[in-house]
Structure 1
């Protein structure tokens, strides 16, 4: 195993949490393939530079807090990045249920303030609010319940 490549990969992982897929793609850019790539990834995991569970927790918490994403969108994105179901479940634990519901309520309240200026039809207002929240990845049952509580 090439120590220089391992060092490069370690600093790539130290800079920001990464998935095994991201590291594998970076290794391919550096023309490292197959068993050698597997060895380097295994070594990074052993050295604790690479942890998909840690990535999932950081990603889920960050997307919820910074971008107000719902759980469905976060899960979908973690699946797309090739994480295991276990890692995804651990990541979702980073989103406290109370904060999640409060976040959705605040999101919809802000959006309603914007829409109320132009939208007078209450039915259309509800539809637009729902479409917005569903697009952010919130569960439809929770979205409709929150909209009913707001209006």
Structure 2
């Protein structure tokens, strides 16, 4: 058995693929770099492709950050700390992170937090109130909710 050599791809073909990749879903620079690395292109070609994507608005870090923050908050019910941590992991700038967090209305944020905490507290099957509180706190902190909110809510629910 011989091993098939990877097909070489032209810059034009790579641009078309990356346009489609970006149009399908918002992407960050890190996603694009990882995808381009799998295509085995020379660094100059990668730069040219990224520049093309930026110029034609296929790649926009601020738009990505806003979309990410809205989605993770509304769908996965993440708190701001978890969203910030994940955006930093994706190498998003501080400016874009701050802008993204403005996408989450404060009243909706608190309402979601209280609903999530109450639902989880009721779902935890634990006789010992201290263990139940600990499980709730661990769950909410993992989800990225602020310490102050979490500890206040845990105290309120376990009284």
User: Do Structure 1 and Structure 2 share a fold, with TM-score over 0.5?
Assistant: yes
CA distance in structure 2 between the aligned counterparts of 1:27 and 1:128, rounded to whole angstroms? 42
Are positions 1:141 and 2:148 aligned together?
A: yes
Does 1:122 pair with 2:129?
yes
Cα distance in 2 between the residues matched to 1:149 and 1:35? 58
Structure 1 equivalent of residue 48 of structure 2: 39
Structure 2 runs not aligned, ≥5 long? 1-9
- Tell me whether 1:76 sits opposite 2:89 in the alignment: no
How far did 1:124 drift? 2.7
Supply the distance in 2 between the matched residues of 1:39 and 1:89 (Cα, whole angstroms). Answer: 29
The 10-residue stretch of structure 1 (43-52 or 20-29) with the greater mean CA deviation from structure 2: 20-29
The CA distance in 1 between the partners of 2:97 and 2:42, in whole Å, is 27
- Give the match for residue 92 of structure 1: 101
For the pair shown, the structure with the greater C-alpha radius of gyration is 2
Deviations 1:68-87 (CA, angstroms, capped at 9, x unpaired) = 11111111111111111111
Gaps of 5+ in 1: none
Aligned-residue offset at 1:29: 1.3
Pairwise CA distance, 1:67: 0.8
Structure with greater helix share of residues = 1
- 1:149 CA displacement: 3.7
Q: C-alpha deviations, 1:31-53, integer Å up to 9, x for none?
A: 22312211211110110000111
Which of 125, 131, 149 is the equivalent residue of 2:138? 131
Please report the TM-score for the alignment, with normalisation by the length of structure 2.
0.86
SS in 2 for 1:31: coil
Instruction: Report the secondary structure of 2:75's partner residue.
Output: helix
Which segment is superposed worse, 125-134 or 98-107? 125-134
CA shift, 1:22, in A, is: 1.0
Give the secondary structure class of the aligned counterpart of 1:67: coil
CA RMSD, 1 decimal = 1.6
- Correspondence for 1:55: 64
